[in-house]
Amino acid sequence: MNVVTEVIQASRALATAGLSDMVWGHASVRDPDGKGAWMKASGYGFEEIDADRVVLVSPDGDVLWGAGKRHLEFPIHTEILSRRTDVGAVVHTHAPALSAFSSLQRDLLPISHDAVPFAHPQLPRFTVTGALIATQDLGRALAEELGDANGILMPHHGAVTVGPDIGTAVMYAVLLERACRTQLLADAAGGVRTASDEAETRFKREQIWNPSQLNAGWEYLVRRADTEA
């Protein structure tokens, strides 16, 4: 599978999972030759992405391939890919549950399977700005705050997730949104009373969200997206 196809599949999978925000949000895949990030073009929704709406963006923001425009927030992708050699793909979304939960300034608790990849240790929050990550300096600050985590909440903005491949990065985005939404539901019902402890969380991370299981979820989303196309 080539990188353009991966960006198309990621975009459509995110739309299928309900993580669209009109024409905003984006997924990227590392260029295998080190030229930058392959990502969806600006001005289109996740569900609209095809081969003509994918661009290769250099670390300096130049469009090296494709006829479309790049997103202003390309530094989210290029700076994380530069800092994290283990990361092959990056996803940025604006799902309402992410902003709602991050505004509470509370830990994300493993009250469901979905939160397991983001607890013990707790995923970080980016507090430098809630505005667009439109400069390389802000991209570097975000990448530094992300550290070696699977994702980062961005209060007043959204979230970013990463993975060694695009399927993992997309699944982490889906799981993070679901985890935030589940905890909001628990809070609305009176507050969280119980959650997995650190030992159970770490066990479940290997049992439930090992690469095989993450890939199964990713392939399901791709199949659903193909059916809905």
Average pLDDT in the 190-217 region? 97
Residue 229 in this model has a pLDDT that exceeds 90: no
Predicted model pTM: 0.97
pLDDT in tens, 122-137: 999 999 999 999 999 9
d(CA 93, CA 32) in angstroms, rounded, equals: 24
Strand ranges of the sheet holding 63-65, from the earlier edge strand across to the other edge: 63-65, 54-57, 37-40, 26-30, 89-93, 158-163, 151-154
Q: Going from the N-terminus, what domains does the chain have, and what CATH number goes with each? A: 3-228 (3.40.225.10)
- What mean pLDDT do residues 158-183 have? 98
Q: What angle do CA 94, 106, 137 make, to 5 degrees?
A: 50
Mean pLDDT of 2-28: 97
